[in-house]
């Protein structure tokens, strides 16, 4: 009963998640690809193996080859960024978690998240801060210049009045 409930919960997460999920065994067989990953990779047909996935995506996403290399079966969690150079460009953040049984790697789970809009938001934030900084600096420069000028005029006026007082006496 608990196993069935866990499988149902996993299936519900897979169907509704905004993250792409790829689960493979140690032989390179694909056990699970959720709908979001199919959308991210533009897959029409769900391949059965990593090799099949690489064949389907090699033109549009040659960058996947290094990430999905079968030779790299580390016991440690790995993560990184993947920049897809198709139009429009995509930036994916991925995390690979090994699946182990009896201290042996039996597969892996890779979660992909589309971070393309995060970069656009960061760029918009930097642009906004730059603009605000410039807009604040411009009037402050004028105010500081006017204050400096008025101080100079004030000193000049004092100098003139002291000259007048000297010349009067």
The tens digit of pLDDT for each residue in 114-137 reads 988 766 677 777 777 777 777 777
Q: What gap in Å lies between CA 157 and CA 169, rounded to an integer? A: 18
Same domain, 44 and 106: yes
Give 143's pLDDT tier (boundaries 50, 70, 90): confident
Same domain, 45 and 96: yes
Q: What's the confidence (pLDDT) of residue 59? A: 81
Domain count, the chain: 2
Domain holding 166, by residue range, is 117-169
Q: What's the confidence (pLDDT) of residue 169? A: 47
pLDDT per residue over 13-44, tens digit each? 888 888 999 999 888 899 999 999 998 888 88
Q: What's the confidence (pLDDT) of residue 72? A: 58
Q: Which token pair is 151?
A: 């101080």
**Torsion sign across C-alpha atoms 45, 48, 53, 56:** negative
Other beta carbons less than 10 A from residue 84's beta carbon = 20
Q: What gap in Å lies between CA 30 and CA 43, rounded to an integer? A: 14
Same domain, 79 and 97: yes
**The model scores a pTM over 0.85:** no
Same domain, 75 and 125: no
**21 φ, ψ (degrees, to nearest 5):** -125, 130
Query: In the predicted model, what is the mean pLDDT of the chain?
Result: 80
Q: Are 92 and 18 in contact (CB under 8 A)?
A: no
Q: Which token pair is 48?
A: 């059965």
Residue whose entry in the numeric block shows the structure tokens 């519900």? 12
Give 70's pLDDT tier (boundaries 50, 70, 90): low
* Residue 64 CB-density burial (10 A; 0-12 exposed, 13-18 middle, 19+ buried): buried
Q: Who wins on pLDDT, 148 or 77?
A: 77
Same domain, 121 and 109: no
Same domain, 125 and 84: no
Q: Are 17 and 34 in contact (CB under 8 A)?
A: yes
Same domain, 104 and 37: yes
Q: What are the C-alpha distances in Å from 87 to residues 4, 67, 84, 114?
A: 41, 21, 9, 15
- Give the domain CATH number at 94: 3.30.450.20
Q: What's the confidence (pLDDT) of residue 155? A: 62
Same domain, 105 and 127: no
Same domain, 31 and 79: yes
Same domain, 64 and 122: no
């Amino acid at each position: 009963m608990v196993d069935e409930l866990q499988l149902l919960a996993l299936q519900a997460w897979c169907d509704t998640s905004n993250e792409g999920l790829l689960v493979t065994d140690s032989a390179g067989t694909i056990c699970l690809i959720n709908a979001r990953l199919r959308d991210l990779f533009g897959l029409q047909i769900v391949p059965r193996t990593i090799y099949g996935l690489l064949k389907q995506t090699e033109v549009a996403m040659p960058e996947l080859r290094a990430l999905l290399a079968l030779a790299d079966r580390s016991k440690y969690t790995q993560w990184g960024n993947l920049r897809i150079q198709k139009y429009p460009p995509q930036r994916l953040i991925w995390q690979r978690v090994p699946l182990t049984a009896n201290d042996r790697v039996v597969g892996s789970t890779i979660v992909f998240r589309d971070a393309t809009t995060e970069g656009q938001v960061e760029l918009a934030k930097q642009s906004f801060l730059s603009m605000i900084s410039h807009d604040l600096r411009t009037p402050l420069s004028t105010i500081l210049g006017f204050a400096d000028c008025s101080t100079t005029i004030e000193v000049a006026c004092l100098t003139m009045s002291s000259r007048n007082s000297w010349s009067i006496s």
